[in-house]
Amino acid sequence: MNHKSIMRRLLTLGRGVVTGMPEDAEQRDPLQLFGDWFADAEKSGLLMPEAMTLATASDKGRPSARMVLMKDFDEDGFVFYSNYGSRKAAELESNPYAALLFHWSALQRQVRIEGSVGRVSEEESRKYFNSRHRGSRIGAWASRQSDELPERAVLEQRVRDYDQQFSGSDVPLPPFWGGYRLKPETFEFWQGRVSRLHDRICFERRDKGWKAYRIYP
Single out the residue of 174, 92, 81 nearest to residue 128, CA to CA. 81
| Radius of gyration (C-alpha) of the chain in whole angstroms | 20
- Provide the residue count of the chain: 217
Q: Mind spelling out the 3-state secondary structure of 57-115?
A: ECCCCCEEEEEEECCEEECCEEEEEEECCCHHHHHHHHCCEEEEEEEEHHHCEEEEEEE
Contact 33, 25 (CB under 8 A): yes
Annotated catalytic residue, options 62, 181, 196, 214 = 196
- Spatial CA neighbour of 172 closest among 144, 138, 143: 138
Nearest to 88 by CA among 170, 186, 180, 4: 180
196 is catalytic: yes
- Residues with catalytic roles: 196
